[in-house]
Structures are given as C-alpha cells and as structure tokens.
Chains A and B, each alone.
Chain A
C-alpha cells in the first residue's frame, strides 16, 4: 500500500487549513468505509488524510430556525437512532438503517456517502427528496448549494479539492408530509443498492395529494427527481389506479432518461414496484410509513 500521512482536525478551521496546505495533497477522512476500500483498488493520489470524524461542529443533529441541521460527520447509526431525524427526515433515517451492517453504519458518515457520490448512494435520494442543502467550507470561505446540484456524475461532485462538506440543512417538512426510503439490493442485508428511491407525499385536508417528491437512485447516472410523476400525483386522491399510473409514468421517464439497454426490463419492473410501494407507504392512514 502506498504511504501517506495522517493529521487530525479538531475544528472546521483547522480542517480547511490542513486541506489547503500546498505542501500536501490532502483529502478528508471521516468514517473511512469508502476511502479504505478505494486505496485497495487503486494507489492513493493523496499524500495525507485529514481526519474530520470528531470535529464537533460536524457531529451535530439539531433544529435551528425551522431547519434540521445535520453534521457531515454524523454516522449512519446516529442518523438511524436520532429522534429528530426519524421525525423530520424519516426517509433519511430509513436509508441509514439499510447501509452495510452495524460495523459499517457505526463509522460511515452522511457527508462521506454524498462526497463519494456512488451511483448507489443511499443517503442521496433522501436528501434530494427533502430539499436539503449542502454547506461547504474552505479557506476561501463558505458556500452552500442544493444537494440536487452537488453530484454531477457517478463519483463526481462539485466539491473543490480543498473543500469540506461541514453540514446539511433541510426545511422541516409540513406535518402532513410522510416520507419513505426503499431499497432493492443484491442481498437482503449488507448490500449495495441495485435500485433505491425516496418519496415524500403531503396531503391536504380533503386527503388529496398536495405535495409530492419522488427521487430515483442507482438506475440513473445521478439520483434525481422524476417531476413528471410528481405532477401526475398532485391534486389526486390516492388510489391503487393512481399508483399504477404513476409507476407506468416513472418507467417511461426512466427510459427517456437512460434509453433502452440490457438492464431496462429489470430496472423498469423494479422501479414500478418501488413506486407503488412508496406511494402506499406514504399515503397509509398511520403516521409511520413502512420501512425497507
């Protein structure tokens, strides 16, 4: 294994200073569950890792000014167990429960999942579904952008070389909104996603769907909303026929986005099933939607 050095940051200021040191090619290290696998596949291009796992500002989960604030170094286990995340970002808590097994979930982080930007990233569809923003910091300053705009292509984000994701924010959903995350993997557990999906549905006083978000991941190059399915749902009463129509439109939308190829028959069939299950879960009478 190639050699590199290690530095531990105790604050965001220290972290971004280390990342900008011109004498090293530094990358952030949080949980290590992606980075340590990557350095087995290809020699590291960096000369130093900057450990940000314990930076206090990056480990918070709190509500601030009607926004849920989640630090980038929060682990999947912390996300899954957080009462605030379960309540205000249900689909994210559900996604966190499906990543790897306990040992992976204890170390892997939200920021790491997004920064790695694998096509099968499980935290990405929920964050896009919940209209989350990513907050970035470097020695040049701070900026934020919608998570939906952060990932450009598989394994490619807008993050600059010396930039660090410090935290994510998302608006607290309206009380009538229910969200869900669903995942199909090659295995039942400890598996990468073969297809994943996050949905959030809000209803008005008559029971009609008033707000809809549907974000498909893995079977598209980058997780994205399927607005054409969302607009089909708005103003409608939930019904099995509506769900089937929405599923069909999602399948058409998939083919429009990625064309027809060797996996189309599988992907469209699974997508339709996930859309129907997601709509059932988010329009169920009880406030707790079904999980994975």
Chain B
C-alpha cells in the first residue's frame, strides 16, 4: 500500500506492505539506517523516532500507522548543513558514545525531551531516558551531555533575548 508522510521535513510517498513496522520501513524501504533495531519489542529504545511530536519506538508502530504523520529520525537531527548538532557534539565531548548502537535513540529521546522541557533536571533527563538502554557507558556521560546542551541552549537563548 502507499504510505505518505513528512519525513525529516520532506513529504514523501513509499510503497510498502501493510504488515511491516515503521522501523523496517525506515531501514529497508527508505534506506535510512540511522535508526537501529536493538530488540524489536519496544524495550531498548534504539529504534526511537519522533512521530507527530512524540517519542515512539518505531519497532512498535505499524508502517501504515505513519501514513499522514510527521516523522523525524536521527538523520533529521543534525544541523541543516549536515554537520553534527550541538547535542551530538556534546555526546562526543562528554564521552557518551562507546559502541554507538544506543546513540541514535538517545539523541532522539533527548531532543524530544528538550523540545518539551528545555531546562530539565538530571532526574528529569533520566526519566526521559527510561526507555533507552545503554550497555556500555553507565549513562552518566549521556546525562552529562544532555544537561550541558540544555544549559548552553538556554544561555544562548537568554543572550539572544538580551541583545
């Protein structure tokens, strides 16, 4: 069946079977392999994307459910010129990336959080990452990177407002 959606800011239409997941649609039919399959049952968060402004596990969304929706994947979260975003740079700076498999989901979850809560506490950051598992880092560095990004964005917003 035909599935039309706005993907990373661009309207697209793709022909795909009705019984596949959004994850499979993204990776196999749209060749966007940034979103990862970690568990395929919605427990690890490696497949996280933003659908209609909400964090969702794409392995638990049936592809046709995305028809008519707006989706942002990890590929849509870098800067417009393709360079790494401030959040992505901080993930590197703060040592939050080891094997990398959880990272797209972490970035997506973090951006979903910061869109709703621009100044989260560390506890709120941890709550937002409940559905994202990391087997390498122990999470501290991930929380550090998100907290630092939120802080810097707020400072930038405040100095812009003052200017």
B41 interfacial by beta-carbon distance below 8 Å: yes
Q: Is the CB of B61 within 8 A of A32?
A: yes
Question: 10 smallest A-B Cβ distances: which pairs?
Answer: A101-B131, A101-B130, A6-B18, A6-B64, A106-B54, A189-B130, A103-B57, A36-B60, A103-B131, A103-B55
How near does chain B come to A189, taking the closest CB pair, in angstroms? 4
Interface string of B93-135 (1 = CB under 8 A from A): 0000000000000000100100000000000000111111000
Residue of A nearest to B44 (CB): A190
The one of B43, B60, B61, B109 that contacts A190, using a Cβ cutoff of 8 Å: B43
Q: Is the CB of B131 within 8 A of A36?
A: no
Q: Is the CB of A3 within 8 A of B55?
A: no
- CA separation between A100 and B127, bound complex, in Å? 11
- CA separation between A64 and B144, bound complex, in Å? 46
Interface centre among B40, B54, B65, B109 (most CB of A within 10 A): B65
Contacts of B109 in A (CB 8 A): 102-103
Contacts of B112 in A (CB 8 A): 102
Q: Is the CB of B62 within 8 A of A36?
A: yes
B59 interfacial by beta-carbon distance below 8 Å: yes
Which residues of chain B in 38-69 are interfacial with respect to chain A, using CB atoms and an 8 Å cutoff?
A: 40-43, 45, 48, 54-57, 59-62, 64-65, 67
A37 interfacial by beta-carbon distance below 8 Å: yes
With A51-B64, A102-B112, A106-B54 known as contacts, the answer to whether A36 contacts B59 (CB < 8 A) is yes
The one of B18, B42, B45, B55 that contacts A37, using a Cβ cutoff of 8 Å: B42
Given contacts A32-B62, A40-B41, 11 further A-B contacts (CB under 8 A): A3-B17, A32-B61, A36-B61, A37-B42, A49-B18, A77-B54, A100-B130, A100-B131, A103-B109, A104-B60, A106-B54
A263 interfacial by beta-carbon distance below 8 Å: no
- CA separation between A101 and B131, bound complex, in Å? 5
Residue of A nearest to B54 (CB): A106
Q: Is the CB of B55 within 8 A of A102?
A: yes
Contacts of B131 in A (CB 8 A): 100-104, 190
Contacts of A3 in B (CB 8 A): 17-19
What DSSP secondary structure best describes chain A's contact surface?
mixed
How many residues of B are in contact with the other chain, CB < 8 A?
31
B90 interfacial by beta-carbon distance below 8 Å: no
A107 interfacial by beta-carbon distance below 8 Å: yes
With A36-B21, A103-B131 known as contacts, the answer to whether A53 contacts B55 (CB < 8 A) is no
Q: Is the CB of B55 within 8 A of A106?
A: yes
Jot down 21 A-B pairs with beta carbons below 8 A, ordered by A. A1-B19, A3-B17, A3-B18, A5-B18, A6-B19, A6-B62, A6-B65, A8-B67, A31-B60, A32-B60, A32-B62, A32-B65, A36-B59, A36-B62, A37-B42, A51-B62, A77-B54, A101-B129, A103-B60, A103-B109, A104-B60
How near does chain A come to B40, taking the closest CB pair, in angstroms? 7
Contacts of A233 in B (CB 8 A): none
Q: Is the CB of B130 within 8 A of A107?
A: no
Q: Is the CB of B62 within 8 A of A40?
A: no
How near does chain B come to A24, taking the closest CB pair, in angstroms? 12
Which residues of chain B in 69-91 are interfacial with respect to chain A, using CB atoms and an 8 Å cutoff?
A: none
Interface centre among B48, B56, B60 (most CB of A within 10 A): B60
Q: Is the CB of B130 within 8 A of A37?
A: no
Residue of B nearest to A33 (CB): B60
- CA separation between A3 and B54, bound complex, in Å? 28
With A33-B42, A37-B41, A190-B130 known as contacts, the answer to whether A107 contacts B61 (CB < 8 A) is yes
The one of B19, B48, B57 that contacts A2, using a Cβ cutoff of 8 Å: B19
Which residues of chain A in 50-99 are interfacial with respect to chain B, using CB atoms and an 8 Å cutoff?
A: 51, 53, 77
- CA separation between A4 and B1, bound complex, in Å? 12
Which residues of chain B in 124-157 are interfacial with respect to chain A, using CB atoms and an 8 Å cutoff?
A: 127-132
A29 interfacial by beta-carbon distance below 8 Å: yes
- CA separation between A31 and B60, bound complex, in Å? 8
Contacts of B45 in A (CB 8 A): 101, 103
Interface string of A1-36 (1 = CB under 8 A from B): 111111010000000000000000000010111001
Q: Is the CB of A29 within 8 A of B62?
A: yes
